[in-house]
A and B are shown apart, each in its own frame.
Chain A
Amino acid sequence: MFEAVLFYIFATVLVVSAVAIITVRNPVHAVLCMVLCFFTTAGLWLLLRAEFLAIALVLVYVGAVMVLFLFVVMMLDVNVEQLRAGIWKNLPLALVVGGIMIFEMVALLARQVFGGLAPREAGPGYSNTKELGMLLYTDYAYPLEVAAVILLVAIIAAIALTLRRRKDTRRPAPAEQIRARREERVRLVAMPAEKDE
């Protein structure tokens, strides 16, 4: 009973905050709503006894990703009116796409396609973290390593594309300065003596 009450509270907050993300005018407020959204989702997951995922969500998304989002939004100084200008033009297409997605989900859920997948009740002493770790580092060790390689590629790509030696900065090159010889810099020119008139 208590769990059901908690669920409905969380669910309401989640839906309201999710709607708020796309309706509030101020992008900073939208990001804050998203933080609330994540927090509530973490709460829901805790109710499902997925404590590891819930904590990871709070730590990673709320703690790191959203702070970055907030930072970017504040830095970028988005012009809200300009963003909203296109909304009516794109609305019909968006409605069609959204409609199809809703239809697909309802069609699948209504026919109980996923019926066989009710969560199993875990026994006492069951630890999500341990189970996840076991799976990740045994069965899914290969995909996990590949994910690590993907991060490496992302770093290489970002550095290769953005770090460049700027040609327009004026800084001394000590090596070149030391290597300089007198012959390169000084040229002796024989000039005819000027006649005094």
Chain B
Amino acid sequence: MARDLAFLIPEIMVLLTAILALAAEMLRLPRTALMVTLAGLLLATGLSMPLLGAHTSVFSGTFRIDTLSIWAKLILLPATLLSVLLARAELGGSDREGTVYSLLCLVTLGALLLAGAGDTMLLVLGVLLSGLGSFALVAYPRNDSATEAAMKFFVFASVTGGVMIFGLSYWFGGTGSTLLSDLARLDTAPVVAAVGLVAVIVGLGYKASLVPFHFWAPDAYEGAPVSIAAYLSVAPKIGAILALAQVVRDLPVATGWPMVVALIAVLTMTYGYLAALAQDNVVRLLAYSSIAQAGYFLLGIVAVGASPLAFESMIVFAAAYAAMNLGAFAVVMCTGRTLAALSGIGRSHPVMGVAMVVFLLSLVGIPPLAGFVGKFLLFGASIDAGFIWLTVIAIINSVLSLAVYLRVVVPMYQRRDDARVKDLAPMPLVKLVWVNAFVFTLGVGLAAQVLLGQLDRPLQ
């Protein structure tokens, strides 16, 4: 027990942080809550470092301490930290500010659980934990649009969650165990395996906003505060994708999951970018773009078990995606939600303009930015796994995505209409976030080799 708990120190730290932030909120000390949250998340990130290289599981295999779950901590905890800063800039001074920080920590805890799930029980609990907190965060402003967004999100989550639990019961029936490592026993029962697979894809697909379970995402992002939308597009999504990787790792290939995942990847990428082309609201555009990006993650998933690059590529892309997406949302927080609000920003605020262009080009996957490294590895992994047609479609979609992101970039550098340009309110915290994201997006691209060396080889 003591040995197992030692491996869970980062998670325990996150939980403690959430509770301390809540206590500070109870005493009406929102500043203290903020400080406690930031310090706690930093500490938890630091405490995850010593775990690097570990490959084991705790509590009889229910939770895995491996490459995926450790790197998930190292990516999601700093991402949560940046989201907390964004939330402070946007929601600071509101009635119950401390609960936002606390809920952000708890949702991250749920995402971390998903990333290391070794048991179907933890899949369900992780989806529930990250879901419940998310609904409250989306509904936090309590105006009509936020409530509507949260309600859509909630109804969608309830239905998909129900389907997932129902399907997982088939896996339990088929294997007599809730452990994912026992899924190999499903070799002889393809029907049972298929029912469970569909259920898991529904349940995790909604969380990762894969097409066709993405309907909630644009509405929820639009109705929620921008900082919360930024957070939702990063932490729960990465958690769910890594959970899917944990599941398919043990699932017999005979169930045909690589093909199912590949088809969903094609749908997700293509639909996400096509829908993004039609948006005038930058938050909705980024929402559809984040749907499409989830499709790229699936290129790593189809390669699980077939390519040694699978886990590495997903981790690198997750880190890059977290940085560039948070950065882009942070810039949108500074400017405003419509494409019109962005016009002329590149000329009036040159540094921020350059940062936004870097984030968007990184989302396209242009070298030498972080997004390129991630996508390059993902393409490599899926080619390794024999999915060349999928890689070709992904590359075609990257070209399509250029059109999507140029729709944002072009107005930024249009000759500005001086009468309409208003000074943006200075937001030092938001600036801190996008500067950090900017440095990371550039830095990872340039130092890709160093980061790749750090990843330990996944055991296949």
Contact of B95 with A153 in the complex, beta carbons under 8 Å: no
Contact with A along B110-152 (1 / 0, CB 8 A): 0001000001011001101100110110011010000000000
Contact of B192 with A150 in the complex, beta carbons under 8 Å: no
Contact of B129 with A146 in the complex, beta carbons under 8 Å: yes
Nearest B-chain residue to A101, judged by Cβ: B166
Nearest B-chain residue to A104, judged by Cβ: B195
Q: Which of A137-169 contact B (CB under 8 A)?
A: 138-143, 146-147, 149-150, 152-154, 156-157, 159-161, 164-165
The complex places the Cα of A146 from the Cα of B8 at a distance, in Å, of 12
Contact of A143 with B62 in the complex, beta carbons under 8 Å: yes
Contact of A146 with B59 in the complex, beta carbons under 8 Å: no
Question: B62, B96, B109: which contacts A140 (Cβ < 8 A)?
Answer: B62
Contact with A along B48-63 (1 / 0, CB 8 A): 0000000000111011
B204 shortest CB reach to chain A, Å: 17
The complex places the Cα of A139 from the Cα of B177 at a distance, in Å, of 12
Question: A108, A116, A157: which contacts B132 (Cβ < 8 A)?
Answer: A157
Contact of B170 with A108 in the complex, beta carbons under 8 Å: yes
Stretch among B99-107, B305-313, B320-328, B416-424 lining the A interface: B99-107
Q: Give the chain B neighbours of A139 by CB distance below 8 A.
A: 59-60, 62
Given contacts A142-B63, A143-B122, A150-B129, whether A156 and B99 have CB atoms under 8 Å apart is yes
Nearest B-chain residue to A135, judged by Cβ: B60
Contact of A117 with B191 in the complex, beta carbons under 8 Å: no
Contact of B59 with A141 in the complex, beta carbons under 8 Å: yes
Is B300's CB within 8 Å of the partner chain A? no
A169 shortest CB reach to chain B, Å: 15
Question: B102, B125, B140: which contacts A146 (Cβ < 8 A)?
Answer: B125
B165 shortest CB reach to chain A, Å: 14
Is A113's CB within 8 Å of the partner chain B? yes
Contact of B96 with A153 in the complex, beta carbons under 8 Å: no
Consensus secondary structure, chain A interface = helix
Is A107's CB within 8 Å of the partner chain B? yes
Contact of B99 with A160 in the complex, beta carbons under 8 Å: yes
Is B350's CB within 8 Å of the partner chain A? no
Is A88's CB within 8 Å of the partner chain B? no
Given contacts A107-B191, A113-B173, A143-B62, whether A156 and B103 have CB atoms under 8 Å apart is yes
Q: Give the chain B neighbours of A104 by CB distance below 8 A.
A: 195
Looking at A111, A141, A149, A161, which has the most chain B CB atoms within 10 Å of its CB?
Answer: A149
Given contacts A156-B99, A156-B103, whether A142 and B195 have CB atoms under 8 Å apart is no
Is B176's CB within 8 Å of the partner chain A? yes
Contact of B59 with A153 in the complex, beta carbons under 8 Å: no
The complex places the Cα of A109 from the Cα of B272 at a distance, in Å, of 40
Contact of A117 with B173 in the complex, beta carbons under 8 Å: yes
The complex places the Cα of A164 from the Cα of B58 at a distance, in Å, of 42
The complex places the Cα of A114 from the Cα of B192 at a distance, in Å, of 9
Contact with B along A162-197 (1 / 0, CB 8 A): 001100000000000000000000000000000000
Contact of B173 with A160 in the complex, beta carbons under 8 Å: no
The complex places the Cα of A116 from the Cα of B129 at a distance, in Å, of 33
Is B22's CB within 8 Å of the partner chain A? yes
The complex places the Cα of A143 from the Cα of B59 at a distance, in Å, of 9
The complex places the Cα of A94 from the Cα of B345 at a distance, in Å, of 53
Given contacts A150-B132, A153-B129, whether A142 and B189 have CB atoms under 8 Å apart is no
Contact of B95 with A165 in the complex, beta carbons under 8 Å: yes
Is B342's CB within 8 Å of the partner chain A? no
Q: Give the chain A neighbours of B265 by CB distance below 8 A.
A: none
Is B299's CB within 8 Å of the partner chain A? no
Nearest A-chain residue to B192, judged by Cβ: A113
Contact of B62 with A161 in the complex, beta carbons under 8 Å: no
B80 shortest CB reach to chain A, Å: 15
Question: B8, B121, B135: which contacts A143 (Cβ < 8 A)?
Answer: B121
A143 shortest CB reach to chain B, Å: 5
Is B174's CB within 8 Å of the partner chain A? yes
Question: B119, B136, B174: which contacts A157 (Cβ < 8 A)?
Answer: B136
Contact with A along B234-248 (1 / 0, CB 8 A): 000000000000000
Given contacts A142-B59, A149-B129, whether A157 and B170 have CB atoms under 8 Å apart is no
B274 shortest CB reach to chain A, Å: 29
Is B15's CB within 8 Å of the partner chain A? yes
Contact of B189 with A153 in the complex, beta carbons under 8 Å: no
Contact of A160 with B136 in the complex, beta carbons under 8 Å: yes
The complex places the Cα of A94 from the Cα of B95 at a distance, in Å, of 44
Q: Give the chain A neighbours of B126 by CB distance below 8 A.
A: 146
The complex places the Cα of A176 from the Cα of B140 at a distance, in Å, of 29
B243 shortest CB reach to chain A, Å: 14
Contact of B191 with A113 in the complex, beta carbons under 8 Å: yes
Given contacts A142-B59, A146-B129, whether A160 and B189 have CB atoms under 8 Å apart is no
Q: Give the chain A neighbours of B121 by CB distance below 8 A.
A: 140, 143
Contact of A142 with B173 in the complex, beta carbons under 8 Å: no
The complex places the Cα of A44 from the Cα of B172 at a distance, in Å, of 21
Q: Give the chain A neighbours of B176 by CB distance below 8 A.
A: 116-117
Contact of B192 with A108 in the complex, beta carbons under 8 Å: yes
Q: Give the chain B neighbours of A113 by CB distance below 8 A.
A: 173-174, 189, 191-192
Nearest A-chain residue to B59, judged by Cβ: A142
Contact of A143 with B125 in the complex, beta carbons under 8 Å: yes
Q: Give the chain B neighbours of A142 by CB distance below 8 A.
A: 4, 8, 58-59, 62-63, 122
16 A-B pairs (CB sep. < 8 Å): A104-B195, A108-B173, A108-B195, A113-B192, A114-B173, A116-B176, A117-B173, A138-B1, A138-B60, A143-B122, A147-B125, A150-B132, A156-B22, A157-B135, A160-B103, A164-B142
- Where the two chains meet, the residues of A that have a C-beta atom closer than 8 Å to any C-beta of B are 104, 107-108, 111, 113-114, 116-117, 138-143, 146-147, 149-150, 152-154, 156-157, 159-161, 164-165
New A-B pairs, 9, CB < 8 Å, besides A149-B109, A149-B129, A161-B139: A104-B195, A108-B173, A113-B191, A139-B62, A143-B125, A146-B122, A149-B15, A153-B136, A157-B135
- Where the two chains meet, the residues of B that have a C-beta atom closer than 8 Å to any C-beta of A are 1, 4, 8, 15, 22, 58-60, 62-63, 95-96, 99, 102-103, 106, 109, 113, 119, 121-122, 125-126, 128-129, 132-133, 135-136, 139-140, 142, 170, 173-174, 176, 189, 191-192, 195
